[in-house]
Structure 1
Amino acid sequence: MNWFALILLSIGHIITDINQSAVPACLPFFKKEFGLNYAQTGVILLVTNVFSSVIQVYFGYIGDKKNMRYLIVLGILLASLGVAFSGLAHNFYLLLVLVAISGLGVSAFHPMAFNEASNYTGANKATGMSIFSLGGNIGFAIGPPLMYFLIYKFDMKGTLGVLFVSLPIVILIQILLLNKKTKKTENKKINLPIEFSVDRISLLFLILYILFRTWIYFGLMSYLPFKYAMYLKDQPSFVSILLFCLLAGGALGTVFGGMLADRIGTKNTLLTTMIMTLILNIIFNNIKNEVALFVFAFLVGFVLISTFSVTVVLAQEFLPHKKALASGIAAGFAIGTGGIGVSLFGVVSDYFGLGAVFYIIEVLPVFAVICSMLIKKPKPLKIYG
Structure 2
Amino acid sequence: MKNTSSAAAGSGTAFGVLGAISFSHFLNDTIQSLILAIYPLFKTEFGLNFAQIGLITLVFQCTASLLQPVVGYYTDRRPKPYSLALGMGCTLAGLLTLSLASHFPVVLLAAALIGSGSAVFHPESARVARMASGGRHGLAQSIFQVGGNAGAATGPLLAAWIILPYGQRSIALFSLVALLAMIVLIGVGRWYRQHQRRPARTPASSGQSLPRARIVQTLAVLLTLIFSKFFYMASINSYLIFYLMHQYGLDTQTAQYHLFYFLASVAAGALLGGPIGDRIGRKRVIWISILGIAPFTLALPYAGPAVSVVLTMIIGFMLASAFPAILVYAQELFPARIGTVSGLFFGLAFGLAGIGAAVLGQLADAWGIVAVYRLCSFLPLLGLFAVFLPDLRHPAPAPGVPETAKAG
Name the TM-score, length of structure 1 as normaliser: 0.92
Cα distance in 1 for partners of 2:200, 2:374 equals 45
Percentage of pairs with the same residue? 28
| Matched-pair contact (CA < 8 Å) for 1:122–1:185 | no
| Counterpart in the other structure of 2:79 | 67
Matched, 1:376 2:387: no
Cα distance in 1 for partners of 2:278, 2:207 equals 20
Match of 1:53 among 47, 56, 65: 65
| Counterpart in the other structure of 2:362 | 347
| Matched-pair contact (CA < 8 Å) for 2:247–2:370 | no
Cα distance in 1 for partners of 2:280, 2:393 equals 16
| Matched-pair contact (CA < 8 Å) for 2:88–2:118 | yes
Match of 2:56 among 31, 44, 56: 44
Cα distance in 1 for partners of 2:88, 2:256 equals 24
Matched, 1:329 2:329: no
Distance 1:280 1:164, change over 3 A: same
Cα distance in 1 for partners of 2:111, 2:282 equals 34
Cα distance in 1 for partners of 2:64, 2:320 equals 18
| Matched-pair contact (CA < 8 Å) for 2:157–2:260 | yes
In the TM superposition, what whole-angstrom CA distance separates every residue of 1:91-118 from its partner, at most 9, and x where no partner exists?
A: 0011111110110001111011111111
| Counterpart in the other structure of 1:163 | 175
Distance 1:207 1:231, change over 3 A: closer
| Matched-pair contact (CA < 8 Å) for 1:206–1:311 | yes
Distance 1:375 1:196, change over 3 A: same
After TM superposition, list the pairs within 5 Å mapping 1:237-252 onto structure 2. 237-252=253-268
Matched, 1:263 2:279: yes
> By how many angstroms is 1:272 displaced?
1.1
| Matched-pair contact (CA < 8 Å) for 1:150–1:161 | no
| Matched-pair contact (CA < 8 Å) for 2:206–2:392 | no
> By how many angstroms is 1:276 displaced?
2.2
In the TM superposition, what whole-angstrom CA distance separates every residue of 1:37-70 from its partner, at most 9, and x where no partner exists?
A: 1111111111011112232111111111111222
| Counterpart in the other structure of 2:157 | 145
In the TM superposition, what whole-angstrom CA distance separates every residue of 1:8-49 from its partner, at most 9, and x where no partner exists?
A: 000111111112222121222111111111111111111011
| Counterpart in the other structure of 1:178 | 189
In the TM superposition, what whole-angstrom CA distance separates every residue of 1:159-189 from its partner, at most 9, and x where no partner exists?
A: 1121122212311331x32124343799953
In the TM superposition, what whole-angstrom CA distance separates every residue of 1:309-366 from its partner, at most 9, and x where no partner exists?
A: 1111011111111101110111112441343133111110111111221012101001
In the TM superposition, what whole-angstrom CA distance separates every residue of 1:271-330 from its partner, at most 9, and x where no partner exists?
A: 11122211122233321142x332222211100111221111011111111101110111
Cα distance in 2 for partners of 1:157, 1:247 equals 25
After TM superposition, list the pairs within 5 Å mapping 1:1-385 onto structure 2. 1-174=13-186, 176-180=187-191, 181-183=193-195, 188-189=200-201, 191=203, 196-197=208-209, 199-230=215-246, 235-290=251-306, 292-367=307-382, 369-378=383-392
Letter in 2 for 1:117: A
| Matched-pair contact (CA < 8 Å) for 1:31–1:37 | yes
Distance 1:345 1:370, change over 3 A: same
Cα distance in 2 for partners of 1:234, 1:298 equals 18
Cα distance in 2 for partners of 1:270, 1:259 equals 13
| Matched-pair contact (CA < 8 Å) for 2:123–2:340 | yes
Q: Which moved more, 1:264-273 or 1:194-203?
A: 194-203
| Matched-pair contact (CA < 8 Å) for 1:242–1:293 | no
> Following TM superposition, where does structure 1 have runs of at least 4 consecutive aligned residues deviating by more than 6 angstroms?
184-187, 192-195
Distance 1:78 1:275, change over 3 A: same
Cα distance in 2 for partners of 1:253, 1:237 equals 25
Secondary structure of 1:80's match? Answer: helix
Distance 1:125 1:238, change over 3 A: same
Distance 1:276 1:195, change over 3 A: closer
Q: Which moved more, 1:262-271 or 1:180-189?
A: 180-189
Cα distance in 2 for partners of 1:311, 1:193 equals 15
Q: Which moved more, 1:187-196 or 1:234-243?
A: 187-196
In the TM superposition, what whole-angstrom CA distance separates every residue of 1:88-147 from its partner, at most 9, and x where no partner exists?
A: 201001111111011000111101111111101112211121101111111111111112
> By how many angstroms is 1:226 displaced?
0.9
Q: How many residues matched? A: 378
In the TM superposition, what whole-angstrom CA distance separates every residue of 1:233-256 from its partner, at most 9, and x where no partner exists?
A: 663221111111111101010111
| Matched-pair contact (CA < 8 Å) for 2:64–2:350 | no
Cα distance in 1 for partners of 2:377, 2:29 equals 25
Distance 1:234 1:349, change over 3 A: closer
Distance 1:129 1:59, change over 3 A: same
Secondary structure of 2:23's match? Answer: helix
Runs of 5+ in structure 2 lacking a partner?
1-12, 395-403
Aligned residues: CA RMSD: 2.3
| Matched-pair contact (CA < 8 Å) for 1:129–1:258 | yes
Distance 1:323 1:190, change over 3 A: closer
Distance 1:130 1:182, change over 3 A: farther
| Counterpart in the other structure of 2:398 | none
Q: Which moved more, 1:4-13 or 1:61-70?
A: 61-70
| Matched-pair contact (CA < 8 Å) for 2:127–2:342 | yes
